[in-house]
Amino acid sequence: MREKYVMDFHEGSAEMKSLLGGKGANLAEMTRHGLPVPPGFTITTDACRRYYEEDGKLPEGLIDEVALAMKRLEGAKNQTFGGVESAPLLVSVRSGSVHSMPGMMDTILNLGLNDRTVEGLARSSGKPSFAYDCYRRFIQMFGEVVYGIENIYFEQLYHSMKSNTDTDSLDHLPQEDWQTLINQYKKAFASHAGRPFPQDVHEQLELAINAVFRSWNNSRAVVYRRAHRIPDDLGTAVNIQAMVFGNLGDDCGTGVVFTRNPSTGEKGLYGEYLINAQGEDVVAGIRTPLPVSELERSQPETYRQLLATCEQLEKHYRDMQDIEFTVENRKLYLLQTRNGKRTAQASVKIAVDLVHEGILSRTEALLRIETGHLDQLLHRAIDSSATLDVLAKGLPASPGAAAGVAVFDADKAEQWAKAGQKVILIRMETNPDDIHGVIAAEGVLTSRGGMTSHAAVVARGMGKPCVCGCEEIRIEQDAFSVGGQTVKEGDWLSIDGATGRVIRGTVPLTEPEMSAELLELLQWADDIRELKVYTNADNPADASKAREFGAEGIGLCRTEHMFMSAERSPVVQAMILAETAEERAAALQRLLPMQQSDFEGLYRAMSGLPVTIRLLDPPLHEFLPDLEQLQERLSSLDSAFSTGNNEDNRYGEEREELERLIRKVKRLHEANPMLGQRGCRLGIVLPEIYEMQVQAIFQAAITCCSEGIRVIPEIMIPLVGHPRELEILKEMVHREAKRLLAAAGQELPYKVGTMIEVPRAALLSDQIASHADFFSYGTNDLTQMTYGYSRDDAEGKFLAYYVENRILPENPFEVLDTEGVGQLIEMSVNKGRSVKPDLKAGICGEHGGEKNSIFFCHSAGLDYVSCSPYRVPIARLAAAQAAAASKTVAYSG
Ligand code: PEP
Ligand code: MG
């Protein structure tokens, strides 16, 4: 039997999202529960996929099914599609994909109007102006969606008719003038579409269905899918629904409400309402709407009904809902419900509140939070003590502070951002065509539109600061003016999406604070996660911050960072440039107390927790000046001498010193430093450096222990590829430790382990494990060496192309390549534990703070992940989600 492409609302349910799209499935669900949804039906996503398989042809039989469904709709409404005797049946045709893509695809309202049916609508409503206004809107929307005719051609006609009348609206326009306007619209349509406006309502419907399918692949939808990682082959459903009218007069209107505040998460109806307006007016941000409390004032009974319905929907879906509704002559209709997009702050508060309200379990709440959302919460806000040059205030649509230069055009925003400039995108109202500019910008500012306008919804979804409806500012082409001041393209501007402030210049920012709800949620995460969360930190401030965020130790201290300060680098350079063993020993003796104090700082910050210290990793030339710069210095010294400008007569001495440096830098030069003399190779060839570091580690430990601090040092050897490398260095560590601890008369448990970041080490992990107390996967290098990519070159050159063209699913330096690199890790853990069952294993590459990679670490049986301080809360949550997800699978399996 042939597939069925059409389902009436009462046949579907919320579970059928992939077939009916989110909107269709939820309309069906609401219909099943007896809520006031205008009747209609959904064309499935299967039909859309088939449409694309057949190169843009509607699948066979679809139109017949639609015709039958329209007949049923006529019966339900007691109206005729194309009927002229009484009120004609009019429908909306709306897209609706599985994932909500607000405003990215197309919608047509009032379909079914033509020169004859409009008269029926005028008669039956008793409001000719309303009927003609619907017809005018329909011609415009149909022209735009089906034939790509720009709105401006119609808007011009509308405004010039309006300027010829005395009043603000066209409500009392005489019938002849309406007729003139409609004729002008049809003319504009014909001249741009190259055909007359279709009078046959069935043809209108068929063209509209085609156009909605096509809109799945319009450029803004494609960009949105890329940004949100939505697959391209899902297709959209089409919802065809009997029209209800919010524009029939002042006891009508249309609105969008959230059941909780989508910015803060506070419970209570939150939204906007436009009196005497039609559907798209609210979301399109064309008029700035009133708060929904306006409905409570003007129609208390309808408001109470809306409130009760919203509560019912929230309980049913067990989540905050974003609801579109229309009031037609005081009667409430629901046009859509979906889980509302929300800010990070709201997302945490809502999930925690729903647990307290008994609606969700703790595990469900944890699984609800996107890890990316926590990322935003841990970002900065404007320092409240700063003096700000506040230019204007708009609606606080999406929190967070952003600064950038003012740009008034989405294309330019994209270009400038690509060139490395931070930009704030400023528009009168963003429309979905601006999506690429929104993605590129640090934040978005609009002068029109409410909290549910596209700019607001899209920015919130992306976690970008947004201020909208800032009506004080007057936007001209490349500038805006406010209170006698002007901000031009390229001027620095800041916005505060939490308060709506628009500020001239850049602003000082403060560190984020964790809300009570977030702390509670993370506590629940700690209760169920199995992975420990460590941090990568090389100084006491970072270590303390990480501990505040819940880190349970340091998983990686990159000691080379301690060698790079202005104070230390001359000593480090002297050590590298030493010509004799004595000279080198002297320089190392000067470095020793510095290193010791570094480690004491870390031990104090992490008292009672493990501190993993990696011995020096990079090649030595990284600590020396750049060869080209040295050569430039030499030639400017020479030219100063030849022009007699060398006043202190130290030319000869200086020249000799420079030449010595150049010789040394040249000697240390390597063709492939990443694969050269670095890590343990350096430690074996020049053992004095590692010996100094080990002495510093233990002397610091001895000092801290005497202060009562519990010290747990773990010494980590980088870049091991052969077991013998680890064996040699492990013996050196034990020898030094024994000597120093014995001299201090102290006992101290410590560990010696290795990074696994060279594929050979992963392959020989059983042999390596016999010398190691722990393994730490250095997935940055392991990815480089498994793929054979040098990260800096790959990211600068071909990797973006690879990801954009789907040659690789992700950047493997951001999201762990579980298939390749992950295979090595799994094999390595298993081999390592086959010789040492209690071998501690973790990850310390950048992947340690990324959700999918953490899921992998959980399933591979690692003991811990280690990540940068600000990612610690994300790692705690992701580790809990991984544990919860694996339990769910285990139970259901
Ligand atoms: C790694 O290679 O993953 C690692 C942590 O070391 P680094 O990034 O310092 O090379
Ligand atoms: Mg490394």
What pLDDT does residue 888 have? 67
Residue 258: in which H helix or E strand, if any? strand 253-260
CA angle 376, 381, 385 (to 5 degrees): 165
Question: In ligand 1, which atom is closest to the CA atom of 777?
Answer: 3
d(CA 551, CA 558) in angstroms, rounded, equals: 17
Q: Which of 686, 707, 467, 505 is nearest to 601 (CA)?
A: 707
* Last residue in a domain, options 285, 317, 342: 342
How many C-beta neighbours within 10 Å does residue 788 have? 7
Same domain as 184, residue 44? yes
Q: In this structure, is residue 776 part of a structural domain?
A: yes
Question: In ligand 1, which atom is closest to the CA atom of 845?
Answer: 3
Residue nearest to atom 1 of ligand 1 (CA): 778
Q: Measure Cα distances from 212 to 97, 114, 145, 336, 566 in Å.
A: 11, 20, 8, 18, 62
Sign of CA dihedral 110, 111, 112, 117: positive
Q: Pick the catalytic residue: 436, 454, 771, 847?
A: 454
Query: Counting ligands in written order, which one lies closest to the CA of residue 777?
Result: 1
Quote the ligand 2 centre to 370 CA distance (angstroms): 29
Indicate the top mutation candidate among 558, 562, 816 to test ligand 1's pocket, ranked by most ligand atoms within 8 A of CB. Answer: 558
Quote the ligand 2 centre to 845 CA distance (angstroms): 7
Question: In ligand 1, which atom is closest to the CA atom of 782?
Answer: 2
Give the best-scoring range by mean pLDDT among 376-385, 390-399, 701-710: 701-710
How many C-beta neighbours within 10 Å does residue 569 have? 14
Q: Two tokens at 592?
A: 């020793």
d(CA 235, CA 212) in angstroms, rounded, equals: 10
Radius of gyration of the chain (CA): 33
**Residue 893 pLDDT > 60, yes or no?**
no
Question: In ligand 1, which atom is closest to the CA atom of 784?
Answer: 2
Question: CATH number of the domain that 298 lies in?
Answer: 3.30.470.20
Q: Which of 873, 857, 847 is nearest to 547 (CA)?
A: 873
Q: Which of 244, 246, 256, 337 is nearest to 32 (CA)?
A: 337
Give the residue numbers spanning the domain of 422: 388-458+465-509
Quote the ligand 2 centre to 664 CA distance (angstroms): 25
Question: In ligand 1, which atom is closest to the CA atom of 779?
Answer: 3
Q: Above pLDDT 70, what percent of the chain?
A: 96
Burial class (CB in 10 A: 0-12, 13-18, 19+), 196: exposed
Quote the ligand 1 centre to 750 CA distance (angstroms): 22
Q: Which amino acid is at 765?
A: S
Residue nearest to atom 10 of ligand 1 (CA): 781
Q: Which amino acid is at 569?
A: S
Q: Two tokens at 685?
A: 């060839």
468 catalytically annotated:
no
Q: Two tokens at 44?
A: 């499935």
Quote the ligand 2 centre to 763 CA distance (angstroms): 17
Residue nearest to atom 6 of ligand 1 (CA): 778
Indicate the top mutation candidate among 564, 617, 781 to test ligand 1's pocket, ranked by most ligand atoms within 8 A of CB. Answer: 781
Same domain as 738, residue 712? yes
Indicate the top mutation candidate among 617, 776, 787 to test ligand 1's pocket, ranked by most ligand atoms within 8 A of CB. Answer: 617
**Residue 509 pLDDT > 80, yes or no?**
no
Q: Two tokens at 312?
A: 């019912």
**Tens digits of residue pLDDT in 303-320:** 999 999 999 999 999 999
Q: How confident is the model at residue 453 (pLDDT cuts 50, 70, 90)?
A: confident
d(CA 198, CA 620) in angstroms, rounded, equals: 76
Q: Which amino acid is at 45?
A: T
Indicate the top mutation candidate among 756, 780, 862, 868 to test ligand 1's pocket, ranked by most ligand atoms within 8 A of CB. Answer: 780
**Residue 463 pLDDT > 70, yes or no?**
no
Phi-psi region of 608 (alpha: psi -120 to 50; beta: other; left: phi over 0): left
* Last residue in a domain, options 187, 215, 242: 242
* Last residue in a domain, options 210, 242, 274: 242
What pLDDT does residue 5 have? 96
Q: In this structure, is residue 368 part of a structural domain?
A: no
Quote the ligand 1 centre to 769 CA distance (angstroms): 20
Q: Measure Cα distances from 660 to 585, 635, 638, 670 in Å.
A: 20, 15, 16, 18
Question: In ligand 1, which atom is closest to the CA atom of 776?
Answer: 5
| Strands of the 331-339 sheet, one edge to the other | 290-291, 267-275, 253-260, 321-328, 331-339
**Tens digits of residue pLDDT in 115-152:** 999 999 999 999 999 999 999 999 999 999 999 999 89
Q: Which of 764, 753, 782, 760 is nearest to 831 (CA)?
A: 764
Q: Two tokens at 204?
A: 């209108």
What's the whole-number mean pLDDT along residues 257-267? 93
Quote the ligand 2 centre to 780 CA distance (angstroms): 6
351 touches 365 (CB < 8 A): yes
pTM assigned to the model: 0.80
Quote the ligand 1 centre to 106 CA distance (angstroms): 47
What's the whole-number mean pLDDT along residues 348-363? 96
How many domains does the chain fold into? 5
What's the whole-number mean pLDDT along residues 338-346? 90
Q: In this structure, is residue 355 part of a structural domain?
A: no
Q: How confident is the model at residue 111 (pLDDT cuts 50, 70, 90)?
A: very high
**Pairwise pLDDT comparison (357 vs 104), residue with the higher score:** 357
Same domain as 169, residue 29? yes
Q: How confident is the model at residue 167 (pLDDT cuts 50, 70, 90)?
A: low
Quote the ligand 2 centre to 595 CA distance (angstroms): 21
d(CA 675, CA 688) in angstroms, rounded, equals: 22
CA angle 342, 347, 351 (to 5 degrees): 140
CA angle 290, 291, 295 (to 5 degrees): 90
DSSP state of 289: P
Q: Which amino acid is at 586?
A: A
Residue nearest to atom 3 of ligand 1 (CA): 778
Query: Counting ligands in written order, which one lies closest to the CA of residue 783?
Result: 1
Same domain as 204, residue 158? yes
Residue nearest to atom 8 of ligand 1 (CA): 780
Residues flanking ligand 1, CB < 6 Å: 556, 558, 617, 757, 778-781, 844-845
**Residue 18 pLDDT > 70, yes or no?**
yes
**Residue 815 pLDDT > 80, yes or no?**
yes
Question: Tokens 């013996």 — which residue?
Answer: 731
**Residue 877 pLDDT > 60, yes or no?**
yes
382 touches 401 (CB < 8 A): yes
Burial class (CB in 10 A: 0-12, 13-18, 19+), 175: exposed
Same domain as 120, residue 27? yes
How many C-beta neighbours within 10 Å does residue 607 have? 15
Same domain as 392, residue 417? yes
776 touches 555 (CB < 8 A): yes
Q: How confident is the model at residue 169 (pLDDT cuts 50, 70, 90)?
A: low
**Range name among 420-424, 764-768, 830-834 with the lowest pLDDT average:** 420-424
What pLDDT does residue 396 have? 82
DSSP assignment of 346-414 equals HHHHHHHHHHHTTSS-HHHHHHHS-HHHHHHHTS-EE-TTS---EEEE-EEEE-SEEEEEEE--HHHHH
Same domain as 827, residue 808? yes
Indicate the top mutation candidate among 755, 787, 868 to test ligand 1's pocket, ranked by most ligand atoms within 8 A of CB. Answer: 755
Query: Counting ligands in written order, which one lies closest to the CA of residue 853?
Result: 1
**Range name among 277-286, 454-463, 662-671, 792-801 with the lowest pLDDT average:** 277-286
**Range name among 58-62, 146-150, 269-273, 507-511 with the lowest pLDDT average:** 507-511
528 touches 588 (CB < 8 A): no
Query: Counting ligands in written order, which one lies closest to the CA of residue 846?
Result: 1
**Residue 380 pLDDT > 70, yes or no?**
no
d(CA 502, CA 486) in angstroms, rounded, equals: 13
**Pairwise pLDDT comparison (464 vs 517), residue with the higher score:** 517
**Tens digits of residue pLDDT in 242-251:** 999 998 888 9
Question: CATH number of the domain that 496 lies in?
Answer: 3.50.30.10
What's the whole-number mean pLDDT along residues 449-474? 80
Question: In ligand 1, which atom is closest to the CA atom of 778?
Answer: 3
Summary count for the chain: helices (H), strands (E): 35, 31
Average per-residue pLDDT for the chain: 91
Q: In this structure, is residue 891 part of a structural domain?
A: no
**Tens digits of residue pLDDT in 53-92:** 999 999 999 999 999 999 999 999 999 999 987 889 999 9
Q: Pick the catalytic residue: 466, 844, 857, 867?
A: 844
Q: In this structure, is residue 523 part of a structural domain?
A: no
Query: Counting ligands in written order, which one lies closest to the CA of residue 821?
Result: 1
What residues contact residue 45 under an 8 Å CB cut-off, 6+ apart?
18, 19, 20, 21, 97, 98, 234, 235, 236, 237
Q: Two tokens at 160?
A: 């010039």
Q: Which of 72, 51, 75, 56 is nearest to 3 (CA)?
A: 51
What pLDDT does residue 650 have? 80
**Tens digits of residue pLDDT in 317-333:** 999 999 999 999 999 99
d(CA 325, CA 333) in angstroms, rounded, equals: 6
Same domain as 441, residue 419? yes
Q: Which of 228, 375, 225, 227 is nearest to 850 (CA)?
A: 375
Q: In this structure, is residue 643 part of a structural domain?
A: yes
What's the whole-number mean pLDDT along residues 867-888? 92
Residue nearest to atom 4 of ligand 1 (CA): 778
Question: In ligand 1, which atom is closest to the CA atom of 846?
Answer: 3
Q: In this structure, is residue 764 part of a structural domain?
A: yes
Quote the ligand 1 centre to 539 CA distance (angstroms): 17
Q: Which of 875, 218, 853 is nearest to 553 (CA)?
A: 875
Quote the ligand 2 centre to 841 CA distance (angstroms): 16
Q: Which amino acid is at 167?
A: T
Residue nearest to atom 9 of ligand 1 (CA): 558
Percent helix, percent strand, percent coil in the chain, to nearest 5: 50, 15, 35
Indicate the top mutation candidate among 682, 717, 790, 844 to test ligand 1's pocket, ranked by most ligand atoms within 8 A of CB. Answer: 844
Question: In ligand 1, which atom is closest to the CA atom of 718?
Answer: 6
Quote the ligand 1 centre to 601 CA distance (angstroms): 22
Quote the ligand 1 centre to 238 CA distance (angstroms): 49
Same domain as 419, residue 297? no
Same domain as 504, residue 452? yes
What pLDDT does residue 706 have? 95
d(CA 739, CA 731) in angstroms, rounded, equals: 12
3-state secondary structure 43-59: ECHHHHHHHHHCCCCCC
Q: Two tokens at 136?
A: 């005018």
**Tens digits of residue pLDDT in 682-738:** 999 999 999 999 999 999 999 999 999 999 999 999 999 999 999 999 999 999 999
456 touches 450 (CB < 8 A): yes
Sign of CA dihedral 283, 288, 291, 296: negative
Question: CATH number of the domain that 804 lies in?
Answer: 3.20.20.60
Question: In ligand 1, which atom is closest to the CA atom of 556?
Answer: 5
What residues contact residue 97 under an 8 Å CB cut-off, 6+ apart?
21, 22, 45, 105, 216, 230, 234, 235, 236, 237
**Tens digits of residue pLDDT in 857-871:** 999 999 999 998 888
Question: Tokens 């009570």 — which residue?
Answer: 516
Burial class (CB in 10 A: 0-12, 13-18, 19+), 340: buried
Residue 665: in which H helix or E strand, if any? helix 651-668
d(CA 155, CA 141) in angstroms, rounded, equals: 11
704 catalytically annotated:
no
Same domain as 804, residue 725? yes
Q: In this structure, is residue 516 part of a structural domain?
A: no
d(CA 5, CA 18) in angstroms, rounded, equals: 13
Same domain as 539, residue 410? no
